[in-house]
Chain A
Amino acid sequence: MKTRRGRAALPYLYLLPAFLFFVPFVLVPFAHTVGLSFYDWDGLTRAAFTGFENYREAFASPLVRSAFGHALVLIFFFGVLPVLLALPLAVGSSRTSVPGRNTLRTLIFLPQAISTVVVGVSWGWILALDGPINAGLRALGLDWAAVDWLGSFTWALPSLGIVGTWTLIGLCVTLFFAGLQQIPVSLYDAAAVDGAGPWREFLAVTLPGLKGPIAVALTVTVISALRAFDLIFVTTRGGPGTETVVPGILIYRRAFEDGRLGSAAAIAVILSIVVFAVTFLINRIADRRAP
């Protein structure tokens, strides 16, 4: 059957299995979500068409706005901070020949392998009013600093942010290590010849060379921040008050607790748009800064 048509069909046959899972279980539901966002539905009785009402309510609602605001805060802690910390860490230690280097790198990556539920439950104890961090602060005589981290209206969100930083630094470091390996030695030699010190070398050679991995790291971590659900569900559930409410929590609550599935869908669509936009932006900027 070596017909041209048969030959042309071959690639599609290879694609078929993947799309057989992808289309009905990812694409089609997403399309439904978009459709659902124009209705008011409690999940049990009949749905009522309401046009853009859910979107109007979402944009007008202080709760929804603050949910995205909180996500922005998490973007800083999950994305920006780990990248900023991982850069010197990776650069400073990539050329060391300490024994057990691989083991150390593995350890740094370990938080990624641990379920966010485990992370949440564990840090819930660590950050407790009578937990180890406060015990340490008290031991250092800093009693005034031993606050109820996850119960504080001021500190709950940043505390969760720091947990995210802890979780994601290892990923960034690993990506940067890989990226550093890729930078041709010749560039470093050229810089050395020009008499560049370590800081100039970093700016002129290392940073541009890490452009790709930085983009990947930012993309993954920022998406992680926008999608955050597990960690918050298991620790504060959106509290205290509404200080740690993020879009993911809002979607789950409205869909499965409050019976407002149309509204949940609208927020999900808005979230997806934000995720797409941010991903696009990050990679655009990365492409533009050509070395």
Chain B
Amino acid sequence: MTAAPRTGTLGAAILIAFAAITVLPILGVVLLSLQPEQTQLSGFELPDRLHFENYARAFDVAHFANYLQSSLIVSIAVVVGTVVVSTLSGYAFGTMRFAGENALFYLLLAGLIIPFEAVIVPLYVELRAGHLTNSYWSVILPLIGTNSAFGTFWMRAYFRAVPRQLMEAAALDGAGSLRILWKVLLPGARPALLTLVVLVFMWSWNEFLLPLVMLSREDLRTAPLGLAFFAGRYTTDRVGMAAAAVMVALPVVVLFIATHRRFVHGMWVGALKQ
């Protein structure tokens, strides 16, 4: 229960102003993407008409269809892998007691903090030796690795907050640990799981350094990578760049907006548990 609004109008004004400032650059780029092809735009201007063909051009000529597909494959695989393994390990950390629990948990936490730059070089060499570079695995497997560190942390927080009585009652009824997880705990975990899915999808989709190093083959490039090289080669095609940029950002933004209510709630709950 919160106190009655004391800063109603001022608060509203601040919120609206900041939202506007945040959105303005995004809007500018979207507008740019709808301008006629050779525009060298200097400001935010409304296009004479909406030139959606810029998107078609980026999709076809600039191969963004391929790049988007690659990103989709990678992101979905990472999400599936991460959610499965994180739920299992979060369950263990969150509800069971075992030797080395703290040590293992801190290990995972440390992995959360290790910057990717610190592992990318040997990771590249390792995967090259395993003949995995230039395949989606070289990106998927490490991403499941890092994201499951976060995922474990996240799910553990959720599981820790579940009342013990629920689990004990089910155990008394003869349910084993897996059954308890599946039937008792998971149904209520939907917000936490959804948040995890959205975050992991977002981070996988937006990942840049890992594919930059692992995927040198043109046909395997993920969307952010494709955009970076496109921008590097066609620096004068600003409208094309804007369209490509919007296309790369769109899937995650759409996912985010579609789930934002639950997502915000999920983060709420998650931030609580810290």
Of the candidate stretches B38-46, B50-58, B160-168, the one touching chain A is: B38-46
Are A11 and B23 in contact (CB-based, < 8 A)? no
Which residues of B have CB within 8 Å of A216?
271, 274
CB of B205 closer than 8 Å to a CB of A:
yes
Are B121 and A36 in contact (CB-based, < 8 A)? yes
By secondary structure, the B interface counts as helix
Q: Tell me the B152-198 residues at the A interface (CB within 8 Å).
A: 152, 177
Q: How far is the CA of A223 from the CA of B89 in the complex (A)?
A: 25
Known: A114-B249, A275-B115. A92 touches B11 (CB 8 A): yes
Of the candidate stretches A72-80, A97-105, A148-156, the one touching chain B is: A97-105
CB of A55 closer than 8 Å to a CB of B:
no
Are A27 and B98 in contact (CB-based, < 8 A)? no
Q: Tell me the A94-145 residues at the B interface (CB within 8 Å).
A: 94-98, 101-102, 104-118, 121-126, 130-132, 134-136, 139
Which residues of B have CB within 8 Å of A177?
268
CB of A199 closer than 8 Å to a CB of B:
no
Known: A17-B89, A185-B2. A230 touches B177 (CB 8 A): no
Q: How far is the CA of A272 from the CA of B268 in the complex (A)?
A: 29
Are A108 and B22 in contact (CB-based, < 8 A)? yes
**Within the complex, which residue of A26, A97, A122 is in contact with B245, where a contact is CB–CB below 8 Å?**
A122
CB B66 to nearest CB in A, in angstroms, measures: 16
CB of A52 closer than 8 Å to a CB of B:
no
Contact with A along B112-132 (1 / 0, CB 8 A): 011111111111011000000
Known: A18-B152, A33-B119, A234-B231. A188 touches B3 (CB 8 A): yes
Known: A102-B260, A132-B43. A30 touches B231 (CB 8 A): no
Q: How far is the CA of A92 from the CA of B93 in the complex (A)?
A: 38
| Number of residues on chain A facing chain B (CB within 8 A) | 103
| B208 closest partner in A (C-beta) | A230
**Candidate in B104, B122, B152 with the most chain A CB atoms within 10 angstroms:** B122
Q: Tell me the B1-41 residues at the A interface (CB within 8 Å).
A: 1-12, 14-16, 18-19, 21-23, 25-26, 28-29, 32, 40-41
Which residues of B have CB within 8 Å of A8?
98-99
CB of A212 closer than 8 Å to a CB of B:
yes
Known: A115-B208, A122-B29. A26 touches B142 (CB 8 A): yes
The 5 A-B residue pairs whose C-beta atoms are closest, nearest first, are A96-B11, A32-B122, A25-B145, A98-B12, A14-B92
A-B contact pairs, 5 of them (CB 8 A): A96-B5, A107-B19, A121-B245, A212-B271, A271-B117
Give me the interface of B with A, judged by CB distance under 8 Å.
Answer: 1-12, 14-16, 18-19, 21-23, 25-26, 28-29, 32, 40-44, 81, 84-86, 88-89, 91-93, 96-99, 101, 104, 107-108, 110-111, 113-123, 125-126, 141-142, 144-146, 148-149, 151-152, 177, 202, 205-206, 208-209, 213, 223-225, 227-228, 231, 238, 241-242, 245-246, 248-249, 252-253, 256-257, 260-261, 264, 267-268, 271-272, 274
Given A95-B4, A96-B10, 19 new contacts (CB under 8 A): A20-B85, A22-B146, A24-B145, A25-B142, A25-B144, A26-B145, A101-B15, A105-B15, A108-B22, A113-B256, A118-B227, A122-B25, A166-B22, A189-B3, A213-B271, A216-B271, A252-B117, A275-B113, A279-B113
